[in-house]
Chains A and B, each alone.
Chain A
Amino acid sequence: MAGWTSTKWLLWISLYVIPGIFLPWLIARTWNHQHGSSSKFSFKQLFRRGELGLLSLILASSVIWDLFQSQFMPHTIALSSIILAIIGIMAVNVWVETYCRQHSGTDWHPERAWRDSRSLALSVFGMAAVMEILLDRFAKVVAQ
């Protein structure tokens, strides 16, 4: 059973989740409270234009950087970087497309933007977690 000591990836990923998702939500709540506004923002309302896509690309870039620092074979680094970059670009594309649609007056669907960005963000977060676990394992193997 478990090497629970090797869960530093959880701490690492929370460095993105806390300032990227929880902090804006907390600031929005605080602002509402200070200004006596009765409206309460949910995550869905706050990120309904696909902003999670931007956060996903930043996270993907960070993992790609970590991969370049690792001692994996160039094949593995190239493959994982390309896959992460593709999913990250698709995630940020949701945000950009929603913004362009809204700006140009083309019909845009907040429900769809939220669902797409949430799902793509989940996939990037999942991939980032697995890659960090693999990087951690590989660093231990190299150190042996």
Chain B
Amino acid sequence: MSAAAPALAKKAERRIVVVRLADAAEAVAFVSAVFAVALIVFPTSFPHLIVSSWQHGQLMAVMMAFTLVLDGCLYFRVAHLLSARPGLVAAACLGSMPLLVVGGLSILLQAAVKHTLALDLPNLQGRVGEEILAHTYLALVAAVFLPFLVIRLLQQFKTKNV
């Protein structure tokens, strides 16, 4: 057996990456800071961009792609920092949950918009725009945080049952 063999064997047995909620929380804080700055610096054009992309049906696809990439990058960053290998369950979770969350919340937004339009209220267009803006932000936060929360809970469940 060569000298490099134990090292290679050890490398092959690298433990699976353990996710902490702090990792996702930092990403949520970053997304919130960017969103807040965009709202303050561009109080008209940024909401208009979001509302018009929702009206053209592009918002959901963009958000899905963004959260998928962000979650993936975050997970691989943690794996790299801990020198651990990515787990299959976590990969499945990160691959599906952002899409499910954004898709589900998009249906909720449709319901909220329908409900708003059904009411006889003044400045309906403005109200709908603000609802879209709020849902966009909430969907971003949920799609970043919830997959990591599920992974964390699964990890704890697995640890208790081992």
- Interface 9-mer from B23-31, B59-67, B71-79, B89-97: B23-31
How far is it, in angstroms, between the C-alpha of A126 and the C-alpha of B138 when the chains are bound? 12
B49 at the interface (CB under 8 A from A): no
Within 8 Å CB of A134, what residues of B? 39, 130, 133-134, 137
Taking a contact as CB atoms closer than 8 A, the residue among B32, B111, B126, B149 that contacts A129 in the complex is B32
Q: How many B residues have CB within 8 A of the partner chain?
A: 44
Within 8 Å CB of B134, what residues of A? 72, 76, 80, 134, 138
Beyond A75-B111, A86-B149, whether A119 also contacts B29 by CB under 8 A is: yes
Within 8 Å CB of A87, what residues of B? 25, 28, 145
Taking a contact as CB atoms closer than 8 A, the residue among B33, B47, B123 that contacts A126 in the complex is B33
How far is it, in angstroms, between the C-alpha of A125 and the C-alpha of B112 when the chains are bound? 26
How far is it, in angstroms, between the C-alpha of A80 and the C-alpha of B131 when the chains are bound? 12
Determine whether the beta carbon of A142 is less than 8 Å from that of B127: yes
Determine whether the beta carbon of B108 is less than 8 Å from that of A75: yes
Determine whether the beta carbon of A141 is less than 8 Å from that of B127: yes
B17 at the interface (CB under 8 A from A): no
Within 8 Å CB of A129, what residues of B? 32, 36
B151 at the interface (CB under 8 A from A): no
A133 at the interface (CB under 8 A from B): yes
How far is it, in angstroms, between the C-alpha of A7 and the C-alpha of B36 when the chains are bound? 11
How far is it, in angstroms, between the C-alpha of A144 and the C-alpha of B127 when the chains are bound? 10
Nearest opposing residue in chain B for A135, CB measure: B134
Beyond A72-B131, A76-B112, A83-B138, whether A141 also contacts B25 by CB under 8 A is: no
Within 8 Å CB of B25, what residues of A? 87, 90, 116, 119-120, 122-123
Q: Mark A125-141, 1 if CB is under 8 A from B, else 0.
A: 11101100110011001
Within 8 Å CB of B85, what residues of A? none
The 9 A-B residue pairs with the shortest CB-CB distance in the complex, in nearest-first order: A126-B32, A119-B22, A122-B29, A141-B126, A123-B28, A123-B25, A75-B112, A119-B25, A73-B112
Identify the B interface with A (CB < 8 A).
20-23, 25-26, 28-33, 35-36, 39-43, 47, 105, 108-109, 111-112, 115-116, 122-123, 126-127, 129-131, 133-135, 137-138, 141-142, 145-146, 149
**Could you list 8 further interchain pairs (A-B, Cβ under 8 angstroms) beyond the known A79-B138, A116-B21, A126-B31?**
A75-B109, A76-B135, A80-B138, A86-B146, A126-B36, A130-B36, A133-B39, A141-B129
